[in-house]
Amino acid sequence: MQVREKTGQTLTEPITVALMRTYLGLVDTTQDTLIGTMITASRKWLENHTGASVISKIYEVEFDSDDGYDNWFELPFAPVTSVTTVVVGSTAVENHERGQSVVSVYPLGTISTGTTNNTLDIEFVAGAGTELATLALYRIVADYYDARKDNPALEVSSASLKWDTMKLVNQLSNNTSI
């Protein structure tokens, strides 16, 4: 399975630089570019780590024929608000969907094995913000900001986050019906 955000989307982060600066107790605006970069990196890490899309966006996912279970293919991000297209090989097909937030798709077309017609491409919209997701994002950025001298590569990782922050992230991960 390969998943990517559709290119050309205008995305608005759920936390502004000004709000994050206030949360961090900073008055000076000289760190604003760094904070903005940290907000985006932290959101992307949170989404990839939990499977919960924090902001609404269009995703494109390509499945191989063996990625599904009984021809049901679970979409990798939640909450799914709509499935816009389902293509088997190069043919758009109808589909069934199940699930309210975490959605699986059953294409009404044959996915052949061992041929060039063995891929399933799905475009869908997922994402919604919640208090839990926003709080987790504030905490991740704060941990990330506090550790910036020890983490010059500016990479978010579970190892660099405080225990209480990871507890929030795990709550979100266990409840992808955000």
Q: At what angle do helices 17-24 and 32-50 cross, to 10 degrees?
A: 100
Within 13 Å of residue 36, how many CA atoms lie on the same side as its CB? Answer: 8
Q: Is the pTM of this model over 0.75?
A: yes
* Predicted pLDDT of residue 89: 84
* Predicted pLDDT of residue 172: 81
Cα 26 to Cα 22: distance, rounded to the nearest angstrom:
6
Name the burial class of residue 90, with classes exposed (0-12), middle (13-18) and buried (19+) by CB atoms within 10 angstroms of its CB: exposed
Within 13 Å of residue 150, how many CA atoms lie on the same side as its CB? Answer: 10
* Predicted pLDDT of residue 178: 44
Contacts of 83 (CB under 8 A, 6+ apart): 75, 95, 97, 103, 105, 122, 123, 124
**Pair 31, 57: CB distance under 8 Å:** no
Q: How does pLDDT run along the chain (178 residues), one tens digit per residue?
A: 999 999 999 999 999 999 999 999 999 999 999 999 999 999 999 999 998 999 999 999 999 888 888 889 999 999 999 999 999 988 899 999 998 888 999 998 776 655 555 789 999 999 988 899 999 999 999 998 988 776 556 677 787 788 999 998 888 876 554 4
Q: So where are the chain's domains? A: 14-53+130-174, 57-126
Instruction: Enumerate the β-bridge partners of residue 62.
Output: 2, 121
